[in-house]
Amino acid sequence: MLRDIELIIYDLDGVLIDSSEGICIAFNRVLAEVGEKKYPEDRIREMIGKPLRDMYRRVLPLERQSLVEYCFKRYIEVFKEVPLKHTRSLDRVEDTLSYFHKRGLKQSLATTKQSEVADILLKYLNIRKYFDLLLGSNDVRHPKPCPEIIHLTLERLKVNKRNAVFIEDTTIGLEAGKEAGVHTIAVTTGTHSREKLAYLNPDYIVDNISKLKEIIVV
């Protein structure tokens, strides 16, 4: 069990919410605008958690890599137009956030989404009120797996790394957490399997976010 925890840092997609349907819609809409064919949704879902530029870099033909930055910026605009009904909270998320909020722990978000978009989604799902800080890829120079977003969170909330835990569903995020020196807990509600997550050797692996109540002693 983890004791003396003051701050829980959460990733967004695959940990708190499932916005994969909306991501697929926006991703392919941008591809269509630049004359590319629709990309298979199952393969888009596999990439969720990677920086958006890297996703387009992987999909666009070599001779069209100059479009990556345009696609990145256009996606942000398009995603805001995708109906919010395509996003849902994952099972037991609000119960878990409320539990730690009532017990005085700080809670924050560290996501590869733009912080403005994350704010819109959390308000729509009525869980924004549980967070002390939201940070997205636009708030740092280097997104995950770089630990910059974790370091910035600790600095903003004035918490020592020994007293913080990062909750992630991808090896990319876990790498950032491990590099930052915080405790790490992997959840299997995202796109990465238990076996793949175990490769990064997180402190714990859980199948539902509600299990955090059994690990984090308050």
User: In terms of C-beta density within 10 A (0-12 exposed, 13-18 middle, 19 or more buried), how is residue 158 classed?
Assistant: exposed
Distance between CA atoms of residues 157 and 128, nearest Å: 17
Domain assignment of residue 120, yes or no: yes
Residue 196 belongs to domain spanning:
7-18+88-215
Domain of 60, CATH number, reads 1.10.150
Domain assignment of residue 1, yes or no: no
CA 174, chain centre distance (Å) = 11
The residues with which 167 forms a beta bridge, in sequence order, are 10, 185
- Whether residues 75 and 156 fall in one domain: no
The closest of 201, 6, 10 to 118, measured between CA atoms, is 10
Q: Which two structure tokens, joined as six digits, stand for 166?
A: 């990062």
Helix (H) or strand (E) holding 25, with range, is helix 20-33
- Whether residues 202 and 187 fall in one domain: yes
Per-residue pLDDT of the chain (218 residues; tens, 9 = 90+): 999 999 999 999 999 999 999 999 999 999 999 999 999 999 999 898 888 999 999 999 999 999 999 999 999 899 888 988 999 999 999 999 999 999 999 999 999 999 999 999 999 999 999 999 999 999 999 999 999 999 999 999 999 999 999 999 999 999 999 999 999 999 999 989 999 999 999 999 999 999 999 999 99
- Whether residues 13 and 102 fall in one domain: yes
- Whether residues 76 and 113 fall in one domain: no
Domain assignment of residue 77, yes or no: yes
Give me the pLDDT at residue 191, please.
85
pTM: 0.90
